[in-house]
Amino acid sequence: MAPQPSWRSALRNLSLKGLSLGVERACRFVVVVASARVLGQTAFGRFVFASTVTALLALGTDLGLGLWTTRALARDGSPSHRIVRLGLALRGLASIPYALIVGAVTLLASPGEMRVAMMLLGVAALVNAFVDHFGAILRGYERFRDEAQLNASRAVLTAGAGLLALLVMRSLGALCAGLAAASLGAAVYGLAKLREYLPGLDVKNQSGLDGARVRTTLRESLPIWFAGLLSLLYFKVDTLFLQWMAGDAELGAYGAAYKLFEGSMMAPAVVLAVMFPQLARARDDLPMRRRLERHVAALLLFSGLALAAACVAGGSWLIQVIFGAGFARSVASLRVLSLGLPLVFLNYGLTHFLVARDLQRMTTWLALMMLVLNVTLDLVLIPTAKGPGAAWATVISEIALTLCCLGALNRYAGPTRSLPLVPGGAKRDRRAA
């Protein structure tokens, strides 16, 4: 029988996930703050631009396989080398076009530190994508302690290598080299963790990767990927428009505010990382599903409200203490972004509810609609309001997304159609498993 939700177990897992992700975000944030102070606003803007572009491109290797793997493993209920190998093999194949595109973008970048940054951060983004997939596998088995150790190791490596590079070389290229080296170290550790839990796992073994299984997997995972890609685009496209319309300095100011805003996403990420396996198993158990969704939504909304109030009240102090007086322009953007935090938190949960119900195609359409809306708002607001205009575009898009998600969840409130949990395999009845 599939394990029933236990709030004591959930709280323990939340603590593990929260602690590890908190350490990881804190370490990354320390590196960001140090780089802003050492590199200055203009060079920091280049760092934000290069890291954004490579992160967007690296999402192309995901193909929705991370969340698909977690969901499939959670429902399957037993160590399955086939699911793990299939996900890793498909991600490996997707890395080939990624490498070609990053190489082309690097050649097109301005000679000098921007070209070096693009190349090194491209390597770091790809390797980190695989580390994230290792974490998705461990979450599918609900091995949150192992995932916590993986996240913590990556955090320590990132902070140590990044700060050392800034201390010794004080340049953008050195910082990017340190981050690339840290990601490689984390990948080695993550692969060792997988082999510890799945003895005999051979990631090079592609037996069973026939066309039927691949097509079934991609049919389920690609809508998740499209939704994630479009969502990341509408979150990150502000960066591209600001750099184009307002320059590196304005992007650096907005980037500082956005780093605080983005850092707050740790809270919903922790909650959904722990609760998603339970939500996936409760797909057709309506009372259990409704109870889980209500509790998770309430927790996310109230957390977002509390954090938003803190950012609005103390935004100026936060910017001054963390980034320094040179980033005073960031305060206005931070205050606007803070207004959207409650809805950002809630939407993180609502979109995961849709995926847990096997309504991933709906999330794709919603993300596309939000991208079109956000781009339109950026084109209208950034030329006159610059950073705060980009922030308002984000907030308005989140309001629209909340309304659309609630409508979709209400429309498809009943049991969802059962889908194969293991590509090419028989359907499993969750209640009889």
CB 423 within 8 A of CB 214: yes
Q: Are 396 and 373 in contact (CB under 8 A)?
A: yes
CB 224 within 8 Å of CB 363: yes
Confidence at residue 202, expressed as pLDDT on a 0 to 100 scale? 65
Judge whether residue 432 has pLDDT over 60: no
Give the contacts of 291 (CB within 8 A, at least 6 positions apart): none
| pLDDT attached to residue 373 | 92
Average pLDDT, integer, range 60-68: 86
> What are the structure tokens assigned to 273, written together?
């990382």
pLDDT in tens, 324-349: 777 877 888 888 888 989 999 999 99
Of the chain, the percentage scoring pLDDT greater than 90 comes to: 16
Task: Indicate left, alpha or beta for 199 from its phi (over 0: left) and psi (-120 to 50: alpha).
Answer: beta
Domain positions in the chain are: 7-432
Query: 396 burial class (0-12, 13-18, 19+ CB within 10 angstroms)?
Result: middle
* pLDDT reported for residue 279: 86
The whole model's pTM is what?
A: 0.66
The closest of 161, 217, 164, 169 to 186, measured between CA atoms, is: 161
Express each pLDDT in 72-126 by its tens digit: 888 776 666 788 888 888 888 888 999 999 889 888 877 777 888 888 999 999 9
